[in-house]
Amino acid sequence: MKSIGIVGCGAIGRALIAAVTSGQLAVRIAGVTSRTEKSARDFLGTFASPPPYMSLSELITAADLIVEAAGGAVVQSLAEQAFAAGKDLMVISVGALLEHPEIIKKSRQSGCRLYVPSGAIAGLDGIKSACVGAVSHVTMTTRKPPNGLEGAPYLVQNAISLVGLQEEKEVFSGTAREACRGFPANVNVSAAVSLAGIGPDRTRIRIIAVPGLKRNCHDIEVEGEFGRLHVHIENVPSENPKTGKLTALSIIRSVQDVVDPVRIGT
């Protein structure tokens, strides 16, 4: 049975452990690690039969597939170590791939697979197919409740406060690359859309804070020689308001697809 190692102790890690424990996901969890051992052990202590805690080097040695769920700051170093050990890597913090495109190059050079799940978005298969031909534009509009955007570097740097917001407010408009730098915990979906399509500098992103909104909403529009594609998604947030429940479900399915010889869709 293929084994996975989980890097990170949050909503994604919890969902993966629950899926394996329930038998929904036919893999073995080799172990879990985090930036601090205490946080990892506290996290594992919430499970009746937790997988073992391991150091990062132990985890990479023990697992067939490393699943990153710890934030973009760890991705570059993690990729270097995983590929050097001949291990495959699944990256959840997709925005890091825009900052470090050498990770994609290294995957191709080493032959180690780099998996980028759809996460909180849908329609990547259509975008990939459309962009084989000529495409005039790819735009994405994200609407989130204000508390799902709090603390974003772009808001801090530009002194944009969402406290007490009474009506919807556009807080960002720019490229996918700029969006991922300014909102690293919020718009990994825009990185995935840009990588599937016409790139991070041609993909346009708008981010709107909407008071009272209960879901994270995304609208993607693609137009080209194939016609027009419009995708609308409304995600229920997980216990982490920055992460939609669909993200965790997407990771579970992506790991399932790694071990399943049958592949549906582009």
> In 3D, which of 55, 54, 105 has the Cα closest to residue 79?
105
Structure tokens at 168: 């919807």
Per the residue annotation, which of 100, 137, 218, 232 is the catalytic one?
Answer: 218
Active site residue 230: no
Report the C-alpha gap between 94 and 16 in whole angstroms: 18
160-181 b/e (C-beta count within 10 Å ≥ 16 → b) = eebeeeeeeeebbeebbbbbbb
Report the C-alpha gap between 228 and 126 in whole angstroms: 10
| DSSP codes joined into one string, 238-259 | -SSTTSBHHHHHHHHHHHHHHH
> In 3D, which of 211, 197, 92 has the Cα closest to residue 138?
197
Report the C-alpha gap between 78 and 208 in whole angstroms: 32
For tokens 């409304």, the residue is 234
Could you list the active site residues? 218
